[in-house]
Amino acid sequence: MSTKRPKSTTTTSKGKDKKADESSAGSVAGSGHPNDILPLTLTSATQELFGCRCDEDVTGDNPYKILRKEDIVQDMRMRAAVSDFSPMKQLVLDYPEDELLLVYDRDFIYGSSFYLVLTADAKERHLKPVVALGVEVALEREPSEVFATQKTSEPQPWISLGSEQEIEEESVTDSRPRLKYRISRVRREFGAPIFFSDRNAMETKDGFIECTPYQDKNFSLKQMERHTGVQTIPNLKSSSTQTQWTYPRSMCTQYEPREFSEEKKENCLQSEKLKNFVNSVASRFEMAIQQNEIMDVFFDDWKALSEEDSGYGRKADPHLKEYQSFTDLHFSKEKTISNINWHPTINGVIAVAVTERLSFEDRINGSTKLLLNPSLILFWSFSDPINPQLLLECPDDVFSFEFCPSDPNIIVGGCMNGQVVLWDISTHVEQLQGTRTSGGKNIAANTNALRENETPVVRYCAVSGIENGHKAPITDIQWLPGTFEVSRMGVPMENKNGICVQIVTCAPDCCVMFWDIRAPRVLQTMADQRKQKVEEKPLENPHGVPNTFKHLDLTWKPLIRLQLVLSTTFCPQDGELVYTDWKLEKDNDSGRLFSAKPSHRFIIHDGQVNTVRRSPFFKDIILTVGGWTFAIWKEGVTNGPIIQSSCSQKKCTVGYWSQSRPAVLFIGKEDGNIDVWDLLEKTHEPSQTQNITATQITCIKPWIVSSKQHLLAVSDHLGTLMYSILPSVKYFEKEVDRLVYFEKRREMRAKEKKDYEAEELRKKTYLVSHQLCKFSHLKRGERPVIFIIGTLQL
């Protein structure tokens, strides 16, 4: 900081007397500024320390900054001569008050960016409002006269122009005293549980009162006329800018190439130096041109040194290879796919359930239209991506269906209204097998045949009674394995027949139900007696529906109804995982069977759980997907999930384990992307993310056709089914190739070593024989020079 005061720019006129000159010098101290201020320049560090940064903390409109005398003294004590205030140390110490005024001189009136007020009177004069003076007047007057005291404006009496009357008319006032209500409740009822139940309003007297609307003229309100006015004006803003004008200067630049003269060009081309240079580099230049033509000079040989295909997202497994897509403009138009399943025994055949894309209110309003267009399950074949091969008629939209593991011709499905449906497609198996064997040349023939003969529609064989089913849509349905079955008490027993006969369903009504497709013993006995009495020709079914499950139609009831018992203080919510036992317990007092309470409850996901699936390789590992996260659990570990993903940017809609790799899983998103997670590679982010469709993914189902062909079926919210070919994993094949390569390399290295040793032996033998030959040619009297070469072993 420079504390040297600038030279005075004021000059005294000739002819003034000496006394006037001394008076003028006393007012401005002969330096161009009043005696009660001191111009100074502050460095950026000092400005940052005292909070007086130019055009930030202090501006032209607010140029004042109060500095504590104690802070300035502390700064001079700490930084000593480096402090910007050290040259004026004595002036600061002599200042009578505890606070000094620092003024930002934006226009450099006194030659520096700041000046410090040295007296209390000057400080008071600066802080008081200043009379606005013109620039010319301010320049003509002395600096001490510029800071004049401005008089405070006096208040004037208010003159009414009638606005208060308009305000009173528009204001709202109470026309009567306000009513007060007090609501109380018996104290013992606070916190008591509340139980709701259903009842028939028609069975009880005064069970309901119908309140029909009608118009009552006594309560008709008339709107009073009101005059309102609105005026819009633009926002006005005054702004100005000033560009500093520098000294004008005219400049120009001209470029032109420097060329040899014709004589110099001729001398250069005929010089021996140029000819020798061209001859020396011609061969190398020609070789470089040829190499650029036959190879890629930008190819990274280091990255291609070894080919890795052990994980997704690497060079050998770049992407999921989409192969084919299926959609139907009639059956799947304006519908979404709720579930997909591969045919267990017929390769190339896949079934999808389509549902309406409607909200609950839209379903109620369009119920008549929905009855005319029944819900369907479509069977697609790889040989014909245009027309479905088979249609299964459903009583309502199906959210989940499964093929029977022991008999793939039997299909069970769960409907939106809570009913369970059974189909038997044994009469159409040959048609599905025919579509699999037909090649690409017969696709047109199959399409024409389907156009002439419409796609066959199979009606359901049996459906459960709607009063005996779930009270909410069935979200999942599974067959129990054929190795065991469940008794009415929920006890697992051995199934000696080895045929799947029982089904498990679940729904958001907090119920899990077990169903048995076998006929009850009483009905089976009556049917056998009726068959023994008379053998009559059975009546033909007009709908062509097999009589496989005729004994269950509209009378089918669940074998076990497992109701999840929740405490009164617990409210089930989205994202909750419940672990419970299906074995029923018996009440000692009443003898009734009831469900056990859940042993564990976890709230991990931040949205509705849409997937709960066991690993096909580890039966105690479970995958759950819901909200924006997925989690992996180990059965028996009650502390929480062993792996939980971080929240993704898009919602997770479905998840599925890989059928060939235990650590790989697929997660579908609402934006149409599929995240492929390889937990052996990394767990904090997916190994690969690939976009499959432009809308939400609804289902994912992998399938293994053979050891070399793995497929992945994906469906979206617009009713389109796609399947991709998963990249093959050649880990073991690469290991075999590695062993063969090392064996060949070992043999090659052994042969090279043998040849090298033979060559070295030959050279040493030749050298010794050559030296002996020299000794034999020595003249008489010459002394031989002996060279010790080494020990030669023969």
pLDDT in tens, 28-59: 434 567 888 888 888 888 888 888 888 888 88
Q: Among 145-154, 482-491, 635-644, 758-767, whose mean pLDDT is lowest? A: 145-154
* pLDDT for residue 23: 35
Give yes or no for residue 172 having a pLDDT over 50: yes
* pLDDT on residue 109: 86
Chain center to CA of 272: 70
Between 79 and 409, the higher pLDDT residue: 409
Opening angle at CA 386, ends 382 and 389, nearest 5 = 65
Q: Could you give the CA distance from residue 61 to residue 209 in angstroms, rounded to a whole number?
A: 74
Distance, CA of 198 to CA of 53 (rounded, Å):
74
pLDDT at 3: 40
Q: What is the mean pLDDT of the chain?
A: 79
Q: Are 734 and 742 within 8 A, CB to CB?
A: no
Q: Do 338 and 721 form a contact (C-beta atoms < 8 A)?
A: no
Strands 697-706 and 462-463: unpaired
pLDDT for residue 94 is more than 70? yes
Confidence check: pLDDT of 180 > 60: yes
Q: What is the DSSP letter of 259?
A: -
- Weakest-pLDDT range from 91-100, 521-530, 683-692, 726-735: 521-530
How much is the pLDDT for 794? 30
Q: What is the pLDDT of residue 90?
A: 86
Q: What is the mean pLDDT of residues 704-725?
A: 90
* pLDDT confidence of residue 29: 39
Reported as a pLDDT band with limits 50, 70 and 90, residue 411 is very high
Residue 16 has pLDDT above 60, yes or no: no
39 versus 440: which is more confidently predicted? 39
Are the beta carbons of 1 and 43 closer than 8 angstroms?
yes
Residue carrying structure tokens 């001191």: 38
User: Is 60 exceeded by the pLDDT of residue 786?
Assistant: no
pLDDT of residue 528: 55
State the pLDDT at residue 782. 52
**Mean local confidence (pLDDT), 102-127:** 86
Confidence of residue 789 (pLDDT cuts 50, 70, 90): very low
For residue 87, give the nearest of 76, 78, 99, 103 by alpha carbon.
76
User: Highest mean pLDDT range out of 26-30, 432-436, 736-740?
Assistant: 736-740
414: confidence class by pLDDT, cuts 50, 70, 90: very high
* pLDDT tier for residue 257 given thresholds of 50, 70 and 90: confident
Q: Please determine, for residue 8, whether its predicted confidence score (pLDDT) is greater than 60.
A: no
Closest by Cα among 574, 558, 575, 578 to 566: 578
At 526, the pLDDT band (50, 70, 90 cuts) reads low
For the stretch 748-763, pLDDT in tens is 999 999 999 998 888 8
Please give the pLDDT value at position 517: 93
Per-residue confidence (pLDDT) for residue 134, from 0 to 100: 41
SS3 (DSSP) at 484: strand
Instruction: Kindly state the average pLDDT of the residues 679-696.
Output: 91
Other Cβ atoms closer than 10 A to 147 = 14
Q: What is the pLDDT of residue 24?
A: 35
Adjacency order of strands within the sheet including 420-424? 398-403, 410-415, 420-424, 462-463
- Check whether 728 has a pLDDT greater than 80: no
Nearest 5°: the CA angle 539, 541, 544 is: 145
User: What per-residue confidence (pLDDT) applies to 224?
Assistant: 72
Instruction: Indicate the range of 32-41, 402-411, 564-573 predicted with least confidence.
Output: 564-573
Tell me which H or E stretch contains 421: strand 420-424
Q: What share of the chain in percent tops pLDDT 70?
A: 78
What does the pLDDT read at residue 729? 61
Q: What is the pLDDT of residue 311?
A: 45
Specify whether the CB–CB gap between 446 and 383 falls below 8 A: yes
User: Does position 365 have pLDDT exceeding 70, yes or no?
Assistant: yes
525 pLDDT band (50/70/90 cuts)? low
Q: 255 or 435, which is more confident?
A: 255
Which residue blocks in 174-271 are alpha helix, DSSP H? 262-269
For the chain, what percent of residues have pLDDT higher than 90? 29
Q: How confident is the model at residue 780 (pLDDT cuts 50, 70, 90)?
A: low
Measured between alpha carbons, how far is 599 from 581 in angstroms, rounded to an integer? 8
Three state DSSP letters for 549-566: CHHHCCCCCCCEEEECCC
pLDDT, residue 575, reads 81
Confidence of residue 13 (pLDDT cuts 50, 70, 90): very low
What is the model's pLDDT at position 121?
A: 85
Average pLDDT over residues 276-291: 85
**Out of 8-22, 31-45, 141-155, which region has the weakest mean confidence (pLDDT)?**
8-22
